[in-house]
Amino acid sequence: MSDGQQRGRGRPLGRKDSYKRRAPVASAIEKRLAEIAVRLDYLGQHAERERQHRRNEREALQPILRRLLAIERVLSLVETPQVPRVTRRRPLE
């Protein structure tokens, strides 16, 4: 029994199998952390794209509405606003 084994013992002497048990767990944790990092990076990029999209919409909305209103006025779909006439009978309120 000189090759590291003993009769009736739990594990052979000189062999540490705890590292073998921990190594797959550690690699699985590292793999999971890498997956989470990739997802966080994707979410960060997605959030940045969403912010840029909203900013573009907000900045482009006013010129689009002005142009639409001009087209509606040319087509007589919208009446031009009339300035109220101030007279003695109808003073500006």
Q: Where are the domains of the chain?
A: 16-78
Token pair 């900045």 is found at 59
For the question of whether the overall pTM of this predicted structure is more than 0.85, the answer is no
pLDDT band of residue 15 (cuts 50, 70, 90) is low
Q: What pLDDT is stored for residue 29 in this prediction?
A: 85
Neighbours of 69 (CB within 10 A): 13
Give the tens place of pLDDT for each residue, 25-78: 778 888 889 999 888 888 888 888 898 888 888 788 888 888 998 888 888 887
The span from the CA of 44 to the CA of 55, in Å, is 17
Residue 14 sits at φ, ψ, to 5 deg, of 85, 0
Q: What pLDDT is stored for residue 58 in this prediction?
A: 79
Alpha-helical (H) ranges within the chain are: 18-74
pLDDT band of residue 85 (cuts 50, 70, 90) is confident
